[in-house]
A and B are shown apart, each in its own frame.
Chain A
Amino acid sequence: MIAALAPALLLAGYVGSEVCRSCHPDVWVHFFRNPHFKSIASGREPPERTGCEGCHGPGAEHVRARGGKENIRAFSLLEPEQTIGACLACHAREISRAAIRRSSHTMADIACTSCHSIHHSPVPQALLARRQTDLCYECHAEVRAQFSLPSKHRVNEGTVKCTDCHNPHGAQAPTWRMGLRPRMIEVAQANEQPCLRCHTDKRGPFAFEHAAVRVDGCEACHAPHGSMNARLLRRPAVFTLCLECHNGAGDFGRQGDGVRLTSGSHNMADPRYHNCTGCHLRIHGSNSSPLFLR
C-alpha cells in the first residue's frame, strides 16, 4: 500500500489516512463524525495538517515497523506541554485560548487530552471525554459539593454549564476585584463579570449604581456556585450582609471615610429593619433613587 503513494509524500514520511485505516478500523469507523474529518473530506490540506498524520505525525516508519508507539506521535506518551503544543498548531488563534499557556490548568499539567477524547468522545460537544460537569467535578470536588446545595445555579440539572462562566483554557485577567482571583473566569465582552451576561437587568447602566457591584463584583454578596441561603447569598440574613460593609469603618469607601452607616432612624433592635431589601428594592442599581428605594 505504501508503494502506491506519491513519492514526495513518502519522502516526507507521510502515508495518508487510508493506510492507518487498515490497522485501526475501530478509530476509523466513527471518524466521519469527528470534526477533524473535515480536513480529510476537503482533500486540500497538506499532509501535515490533515487526517491521522495531522496530529500523530508522519506514519511511514510506524507502518514499516508494523506499529508501535515510539515511532509515531502517541499522545499517551507525550508530556503535557507537548500535547498542548500539538493541538495549538491548529487551535491557537482563538480568543478563548489566548491565555492557555498561563492558565491554572496548564500549570497543573492538565493538558488537552485530560478533558478531550479525540477518538471516543461520548458527547456531541467539543469532543469531551465525558459530560462536562463530570469532567470538572473529577478534580473540583468542592465545587460538586457547592452545586449540591439547596440554592444553586442549575448545573446538575443541565441548563447551566461550567463553561458559561469559566474558560477552562485560561482567561483574561478579571478587572473587577484586584487580586489574582477569581481565575479561569470567562469575562463578558467589556471585561465584565460573566454574571451580567444572563442577569442583564443588573447590568445597567443605572443613574445610581451600587458601586460595590462594579468594584468588588457580585461575589461580594453572592456565592455563585451554590449556597445554603436563598438567592445564593453569603449570609442567611440580609441585614448582616449589608452591615459588614456599612459600618462606617474609616479608610474605606469612595471618599476614604468609610462606607456610610445606616440611618439613625433604622432601629436594628426592631425586626422591621432586618430586611434591608424590603425598602432598598433596587439594591443592584436604580434610575431614580440614590438609596435604591425604587
Chain B
Amino acid sequence: MGFRRWLWILAPAAMMAQPTVTPSPEAGTRRGEDAYGYNFVNSWEIGYRARRLFGEETKYRSDVNFGNGVRLLAARAGVHSRDGRAKYFDQFVLTAQGLGNDPYQSATVRLERNRLYRYELGWRLNEYFNPGLAIGGARQGLDTRRRWQDHELILLPESRLRLLAGFSRNSQEGPALATFNIDGALGDEFPVFADIRRGQNEYRLGGMAEARGWRLTLVRSWENFKEDTRHRRTTPSEGENPADAIRLLGLRRDEPYHGVTRSWRLHLASGERRRYAVNGRLTYSGGERAFVADEVFTGTSRLAAERNRQVVVFGTGRRPVATGNLTLTLMPARRLTLGNHTAFYQVRMEGDAVLGEFDNATRLPAWVYFQALGIRTLVNTTDVHYRPSARVGLYGGYQFSTRRIRSRERLEVEGLEEIVPAEQSSRIHAGLAGLRFKPAGGLTLSLTGELGRADRPTYPISERRYDAFGARADYKAKTLRLSASAASRWNTNSASWSTHSWRGRTYAVDGAWTPSARLTFEAGYAKLHTDTLSGLAYFSAAALVTGERFAYRSNLHSGHAGFWISARNRVDIYLGYHRVQDTGDGRNAAPPPNRSPASGSAQAAFRAAQTFPVAYQSPLGRLSIRIHEKWRWNAGYQWYGYGEESAPFQHYRAHTGYVSLTWSF
C-alpha cells in the first residue's frame, strides 16, 4: 500500500471518535523543514473556547467543565537530527493540549541524544469539581486542581549498563466542603469549609545491567507524601436540622500528616530464549505516616447545653509490603505456549495512636489503640495456548489463590468496649477457556468462558460462585471494520437469610466504513445491563428490620455515530452524535407501589434508589478549512444535555464551541 494511501486511511481514523470538540485532529504525517542538520515539524493550534450554560452549573462543572477563554488548544513540535549523531540532542518532541486555562491540560516532552541520554517529561492537570451526591442530601463537594508530573532520565540508554533517575510529583489543592457531626448518631451535621493541600513526591534512582541475554533492574525509591488540610467554620450554623437545639458556633480542625515510603524494586528477565522466558520481580516498600489531628469546636448540644470539645490525636501508622512475581513461559513448539505465573503479596498495617479529648460534657481523656490488619495473598495461574492452525486457536487456564486476613480490633461503640482478634482465610479456584476461529479472511470469531468458586469470601458482594461468558465477532477489510460482542457475568453469594446476586450483561456493535480516502462513517451501540439483589438488615425506629431485599437495576443504552468528509484536502467536516440513557427498570420518576419484602423493601427510600433514569446526549460538529499551505481555520460546536428523572434540579444544557487557527509545517 502506497504511502499516500496509508496517510488517507490513517487521517480519517484520527478525525473520528473525538468526544470532545477540541483540539482539531491532525491529518497525516508532515515532512517538516530541514535546517542545521535537523528536521523541524510543528503544529500549533490557538483558539478561543466559548460556553453558554442553562441549568445546574455545578452538575455541568462536574461532568464537562469547559469554560470560556483563549487556549493553546494543541501543540506538537518535533526536532530530529537527520543522521542520529548530533552533538547535543537527536530528538526533541513536545506535545501539549489545553494549555491556558482548560480544565484538562497535558504536556509531554522527550529529549534524547542517542546512546548518551533520554529524558521524558509528562505533565497533566485536571480540574476536579464535584458538587456531592444528588441523592442522600450530601453536603460535600470539591473544587480542586490535581497536577501530576513525571520525569524520567536514562543515561547510556543503549548500553549494557544504564543508569536511571526519576522524579514524580502529584498534588491536589483547592477548596472543599465537608461535614462535621456533633453528638453522633443522635446529633446533627454541619457544613464546614476545607482547604485541601495534598502532595506527594517520589524520587527514584536505579540501574540496569545486561549480560548473557539477562537483564537485571534495580530501583530504589523514596516517596514523601503529606497533607496539610484545614477545616474551618467561623460563622454559626444551625446544621442540617434547624428544629433541634444543636448549634455549631465555631470549628477549627487541622489534620496534617507527613510520611515516607522507601522501596526497593528488583526485576530479572531472561529475554525470550528459543524455548522459554523467565521474568521475576521482588519489591519491598515500607510506608510510614506520622499524623496529628487537632480539633476545637464550640456550640450547643441537643439538650441546648453549652458544648465545647478539644481533641488531639497523634501517632504513627506503618505498612511494610513485600511482593513477588514470577512468570515462566515455555514454548515447546511454535504453536504451543505454556505459562505459569505466581504472585505473592504480604502487607501488614500496624502502628499506634493516642487520642486526648477534653469535652465539657464528659471531661474524660480517651485512648485509641491501633487496629492491626495483615493480609497475605498467594496467586498461581497456569495457562495453555495452542494454535492447531492459523485459523484456530484454543486456550485455557486455571488459577488458584489463597488469602489470609488477620486483624486485631478494639471497638468502642456507644460505650461498649471490645477487643476482637480475627482471622479469616479464603481460597478460590477459577478456570478459563476460550476458542478463536477465523472462518474466512478478515472474520474472527471468539468465545470465552470463566468459572470461579470461592469458599469463604470476605464480603457479601465478593465473588463466591461466579461465571463469565463472552462471544465476539470481528470483521476487518480494507475499508470496513465491524465488530459485535456479547458478554455476561453472574455472581451469587448466599449465606443464611441474606443473598447477594449480581448479573451483568453487555452487548455492543461497532463499525467504521471508509469508502474513499475522503469519507468515513462510524457508528456503534452498546447496552450495559446490571441487575443486583441484596439482603437487607437495618434499624427503623429502633426496630431491626430483616428479610427485605434491595434490588438495583440499570439498563444503559449508549449509541454514537459520526461522519467525516474531506473536500479536496481543503475542507474537513465532522459531524457526530452521542447519546447515553439509563432506562433503569422502566419506571418513570414516581416510585413504584409497595412491594413485598421478598422482592423489595417497604422503605420508600430504598425503592426510590433501585433505579436511576438518566439521559445524557451530546451532538457535535467540526469544520476545518485550509486557508494557506501552513494555516488552517477551525471551528467546532458541541452541545451537552443532561437530565435526571429522579432529581430534576440536576438538569443542564450547555452550548460549547471554539474557533481556532492551526499553524503547521
Which of chain B's residues have a CB closer than 8 A to the CB of A148? 19, 558, 560, 578, 580, 616, 618
Cβ-defined contact, A145 with B495, below 8 A: no
Q: Is B341 an interface residue (CB 8 A)?
A: yes
Cβ-defined contact, B541 with A175, below 8 A: no
- The CA of A89 and the CA of B115, in the complex, are separated in Å by 20
Cβ-defined contact, B39 with A32, below 8 A: yes
Q: Is B393 an interface residue (CB 8 A)?
A: yes
Bitwise, A144-170 to B at CB < 8 A (1) or not (0) is 111111110010111110000000000
Bitwise, A255-266 to B at CB < 8 A (1) or not (0) is 110010111111
In the complex, residue of chain B having the shortest beta-carbon distance to the beta carbon of A39? B158
Cβ-defined contact, A99 with B130, below 8 A: no
Bitwise, B201-233 to A at CB < 8 A (1) or not (0) is 000000000100011010001000101000000
Q: Is B283 an interface residue (CB 8 A)?
A: yes
Which of chain A's residues have a CB closer than 8 A to the CB of B279? 95, 98-99
| Chain A: number of interface residues, binned into ranges | 35 or more
Cβ-defined contact, B170 with A228, below 8 A: no
Q: Is B323 an interface residue (CB 8 A)?
A: yes
Q: Is B237 an interface residue (CB 8 A)?
A: no
**Chain A interface, >50% SS class:** loop
Bitwise, A228-256 to B at CB < 8 A (1) or not (0) is 11110101111110011101111111111
Which of chain B's residues have a CB closer than 8 A to the CB of A26? 2-3
- Of the listed stretches B298-306, B531-539, B589-597, B623-631, chain A binds B531-539
- Of the listed stretches B44-52, B366-374, B564-572, chain A binds B366-374
Q: Give the residue of A27, A142, A252, A255 whose beta carbon is less than 8 angstroms from that of B528.
A: A142
Bitwise, A120-158 to B at CB < 8 A (1) or not (0) is 101011000111011001110110111111110010111
Q: Give the residue of B28, B185, B198, B331 whose beta carbon is less than 8 angstroms from that of A200.
A: B198
Which of chain A's residues have a CB closer than 8 A to the CB of B410? 290
Q: Give the residue of A120, A129, A174, A249 whose beta carbon is less than 8 angstroms from that of B29.
A: A120
Cβ-defined contact, B10 with A122, below 8 A: yes
Q: Is B509 an interface residue (CB 8 A)?
A: yes
Most buried by B among A160, A179, A233: A179
Cβ-defined contact, A142 with B526, below 8 A: yes
In the complex, residue of chain A having the shortest beta-carbon distance to the beta carbon of B339? A102
Q: Is B143 an interface residue (CB 8 A)?
A: no
- The CA of A235 and the CA of B368, in the complex, are separated in Å by 33
Interface residues in B255-275 (C-beta closer than 8 Å to A):
255, 257, 259, 263, 265, 267, 269-272
Most buried by B among A159, A203, A259, A271: A159
Interface residues in A183-198 (C-beta closer than 8 Å to B):
189-192, 198
CB distance from A212 to the nearest CB of B (A): 6
CB distance from A219 to the nearest CB of B (A): 10
CB distance from B195 to the nearest CB of A (A): 14
Which of chain A's residues have a CB closer than 8 A to the CB of B20? 156-158
Q: Given the known A-B contacts A98-B281, A290-B411, are A268 and B497 also in contact in the complex, defined by CB atoms under 8 Å?
A: no
Q: List 12 A-B contacts (CB under 8 A).
A: A32-B84, A93-B214, A95-B269, A102-B327, A138-B483, A189-B263, A228-B616, A249-B495, A264-B539, A279-B184, A289-B368, A290-B410
| 12 extra interface residue pairs, beta carbon distance < 8 Å, beyond A200-B200, A288-B313 | A42-B114, A174-B379, A233-B133, A236-B133, A236-B609, A239-B605, A239-B609, A250-B495, A264-B542, A267-B542, A269-B603, A274-B605
